[in-house]
């Protein structure tokens, strides 16, 4: 479920002239209202996640047999203190949502970190060494891309066993091909250029070439793809949780909370509605940010 970021065919050059590239980036970025909003929302979510212990009124796992399935305070039957109501076994919804923010952000970043690292390495290898290595790696990525992401993730989780870490690994594997493709394409484009040939002739080692000359050129498309990847990761991990293969109860993961709440769909709208809204807001924020970054970093659109 990812819009592939177009790898920048011509990477920004440092010698582009007066406005410093970073300043240029900032001015483009801040002109994009959506992206700024996205960044703001992510900031708020990050604060919620970081300071969950102080912000959440209750522990996310503390049950209370006095308040099973109570509606939010503004509705008849609501209980003071439980702002967004309670779930089937008397846990505070608001607190679980706040802790869920921590979890979802962690999942998003961890998946992308894993995926980008592995993807960059594989992409560099494929693009730099070419030949049979490249064919094998790229065919494998094709296979991963051919199977529907969720089906593949489900099979991987079925092997590893349900759980948050395994779901995370599964989603990371599913996202891998995008990064491999971007890095490989950039590497191939760059190695054909004169400066790399020149560096090679002066006796630069392969590793040095990769790290010093080629890698920086992948950075812009990778950053864009990674930001969009976070939203995919959060969404897929939640979907796995919803099917019962992701985070396991009592972990306050939003997808898992939704799965748990499904049986109350006719009776308690709040347990069904809030976790979904949180997923939507978070994913939307990352997509806004990703779009903004792409526009600001992609020179093609700079007219």
CA distance 127 to 2: 22
* Helix, coil or strand: residue 218: helix
161 touching other proteins, by CB under 8 A:
yes
CB of 295 to other proteins, least distance (A): 11
CA distance 207 to 129: 12
Site for other proteins in 212-231 (CB under 8 A): 231
CA distance 279 to 130: 40
Greatest Cα pair distance in the chain: 78
Q: Which of 8, 97, 107, 156 binds other proteins (CB under 8 A)?
A: 156
Q: Which of 30, 62, 75, 205 binds other proteins (CB under 8 A)?
A: 62
287 touching other proteins, by CB under 8 A:
yes
CB of 29 to other proteins, least distance (A): 17
Q: Which of 288, 293, 296, 297 binds other proteins (CB under 8 A)?
A: 288
CA distance 90 to 81: 12
The answer to whether 38 and 284 are in contact (CB under 8 A) is yes
User: Whose Cβ is closer to other proteins: residue 115's or residue 149's?
Assistant: 149
CA distance 75 to 62: 23
Q: Which two tokens stand for residue 218?
A: 């992948």
- Who contacts 32 (Cβ-Cβ below 8 Å, separation ≥6)? 291, 292, 295, 296
CB of 155 to other proteins, least distance (A): 5
Site for other proteins in 66-85 (CB under 8 A): 68-69
100 touching other proteins, by CB under 8 A:
no
299 touching other proteins, by CB under 8 A:
no
Q: Which of the 8 DSSP states describes residue 86?
A: B
265 touching other proteins, by CB under 8 A:
yes
12 touching other proteins, by CB under 8 A:
no
92 touching other proteins, by CB under 8 A:
no
Stretch that binds other proteins, among 62-70, 112-120, 190-198, 214-222 (CB under 8 A): 62-70
The answer to whether 217 and 235 are in contact (CB under 8 A) is no
User: Whose Cβ is closer to other proteins: residue 14's or residue 76's?
Assistant: 76
Q: Judged by CB under 8 A, how many residues of this single chain contact other proteins?
A: 61
165 touching other proteins, by CB under 8 A:
no
Stretch that binds other proteins, among 102-110, 176-184, 204-212, 285-293 (CB under 8 A): 285-293
- For residues 100-132, one letter each, b for 16 or more C-beta atoms within 10 angstroms of the residue's C-beta and e for the rest, the string is bbbbbbebbbbbbebbbebbbebbbbbbbeeee
């Amino acid at each position: 479920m990812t819009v592939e970021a177009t790898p920048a065919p011509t990477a920004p050059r440092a010698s582009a002239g007066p406005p410093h590239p970073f300043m240029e980036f900032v001015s483009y970025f801040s002109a994009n209202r959506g992206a700024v909003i996205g960044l703001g929302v992510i900031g708020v979510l990050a604060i919620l996640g970081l300071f969950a212990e102080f912000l959440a009124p209750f522990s996310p796992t503390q049950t209370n047999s006095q308040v099973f399935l109570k509606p939010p305070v503004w509705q008849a039957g609501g209980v003071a203190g439980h702002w967004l109501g309670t779930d089937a076994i008397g846990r505070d919804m608001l607190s679980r949502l706040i802790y869920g923010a921590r979890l979802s952000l962690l999942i998003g970043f961890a998946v992308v970190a894993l995926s980008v690292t592995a993807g960059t390495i594989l992409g560099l290898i494929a693009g730099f060494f070419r030949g049979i290595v490249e064919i094998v790696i790229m065919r494998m990525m094709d296979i991963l891309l051919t199977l529907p992401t969720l089906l593949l993730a489900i099979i991987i989780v079925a092997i590893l066993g349900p759980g948050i870490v395994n779901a995370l690994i599964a989603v990371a594997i599913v996202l891998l091909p995008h990064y491999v493709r971007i890095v490989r394409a950039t590497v191939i484009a760059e190695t054909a250029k004169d400066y790399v040939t020149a560096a090679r002739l002066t006796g630069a080692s392969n590793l040095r070439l990769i790290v010093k000359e080629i890698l920086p050129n992948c950075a812009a498309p990778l950053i864009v793809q990674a930001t969009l990847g976070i939203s995919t990761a959060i969404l897929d991990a939640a979907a796995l949780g919803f099917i019962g293969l992701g985070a396991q109860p009592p972990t306050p993961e939003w997808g898992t909370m939704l799965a748990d709440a499904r049986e109350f769909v006719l009776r308690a709208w709040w347990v069904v509605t809030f976790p979904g809204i949180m997923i939507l807001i978070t994913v939307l924020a990352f997509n806004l940010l990703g779009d903004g970054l792409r526009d600001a970093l992609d020179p093609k659109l700079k007219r």
